[in-house]
Amino acid sequence: MDATFIFSQAVSGLTIATLLFLVASGLTLIFGVGKVFNFAHGSFYMIGAYFGYQFSAVWGTNFFLSLILTGICVGLVGMLMEFLFLRRIYGRANEGGFQILMTYCFILIIDDLVKLIWGTEYKSLARPPGFQGAFQIGDTFIPTYNLLIIGIGFAAVILAWYILARTRPGRVARAASVDREIVGVLGVNVPLTMTLVFGLATAMGGMAGTLAAPLRTVTPGAGIEVIIDSLIVVVIGGMGNFWGAWLGAILIGEVTAFGVAFAPKWATLFSFMILVIVLIFKPEGLFTRRKVM
């Protein structure tokens, strides 16, 4: 095992981590702000992959433009879903269970709609021009596309930090996560905030889907794998903890990357082992100090 091997696995881990973070941060944001667990969050990742495929591979739109268009479209779908359905069951007895049930129905519906529109065969998406090559370090190659994803991921983290810490909607979202009612009393439109947060979070998930499409195959049913990985990330980082999700994603991304290198068949077991250890020793999440973000 030499340094270049470690380096290339680390880059691969960061790539996985970035994609995971884009999904998991949305999940944790929705939960933090609205106490809604969006079980269908992985499905937004999946439709993101299909939208990206549609824009880029079918209609020939520029990859980066497709990425942005996907973000907008998936975000709109997310907002619509929150506005039309989830909003109806806020505050109902046994709310948590019914939210999960409802978002579970979304998974079933979205999965089948995707099959109905795009068929069941695998789709693939080419890497964007300029990012098809690879760097050579020693005798290993590091695809430039991975670096692009990592770069976009960092940009997203910085942007998210800026929105949450420096802008009024961000502060409202953070305040809403502490106390929904008080924010309402202060004259902030809480339902609207929730819809917007839902849109932002699903848009991030959708863009992650497009970004992942050239690396992984695009298939219906991809949502559930992603949601379970994100879930592990979110639990490790602490539910509702934005930065915890970032650190958790990096941890799980790296563990997965190195796990794949050493025991490809059983790589997923490693993240579960971490999950079990966290659950035993620090069930509130590794990175939770304060309750919010």
The residues that touch another protein, with contacts defined as CB under 8 A, are 31, 37, 85, 88-89, 92, 94, 96-98, 100-102, 104-109, 111-113, 115-116, 224, 228, 231-232, 235, 239, 265-266, 268-269, 272, 275-276, 279-280, 283
What stretch of H or E contains 209? helix 190-212
Closest CA to 12 of 104, 111, 145: 145
Q: Is the Cβ of residue 191 or residue 283 nearer to another protein in the bound state?
A: 283
Shortest Å, Cβ 111 to another protein: 6
List CB contacts of 203: < 8 A, sequence separation 6 or more. Answer: 71, 72, 74, 75, 78
Closest CA to 223 of 239, 212, 238: 212
For tokens 């309402």, the residue is: 184
Shortest Å, Cβ 65 to another protein: 31
Q: Is the Cβ of residue 166 or residue 290 nearer to another protein in the bound state?
A: 290
Strands (E), the chain: 134-137, 140-143
Residue-wise DSSP of 168-197: HHHHHHHHHHH-HHHHHHTT--HHHHHHHH
Q: Is the Cβ of residue 127 or residue 291 nearer to another protein in the bound state?
A: 291
Contact yes or no for 27/38 (Cβ under 8 A): yes
Partnered with residue 135 across adjacent β-strands are: 142
Shortest Å, Cβ 238 to another protein: 11
Q: Is the Cβ of residue 7 or residue 37 nearer to another protein in the bound state?
A: 37
Contact yes or no for 238/285 (Cβ under 8 A): yes
Shortest Å, Cβ 96 to another protein: 6
Q: Is the Cβ of residue 57 or residue 110 nearer to another protein in the bound state?
A: 110
Shortest Å, Cβ 3 to another protein: 31
Shortest Å, Cβ 181 to another protein: 16
Contact yes or no for 78/198 (Cβ under 8 A): yes
> Which tokens in the block code for residue 98?
């019914």
Q: Is the Cβ of residue 28 or residue 56 nearer to another protein in the bound state?
A: 28
Q: Which residues of 261-284 are buried (b: 16+ CB within 10 A; e: fewer)?
A: beeeeebeebbeebbeebeeeeee
Shortest Å, Cβ 39 to another protein: 8
Q: In whole angstroms, what is the distance from residue 257 CA to residue 288 CA?
A: 25
List CB contacts of 90: < 8 A, sequence separation 6 or more. Answer: none
Q: Is the Cβ of residue 126 or residue 276 nearer to another protein in the bound state?
A: 276
Q: Is the Cβ of residue 23 or residue 157 nearer to another protein in the bound state?
A: 23
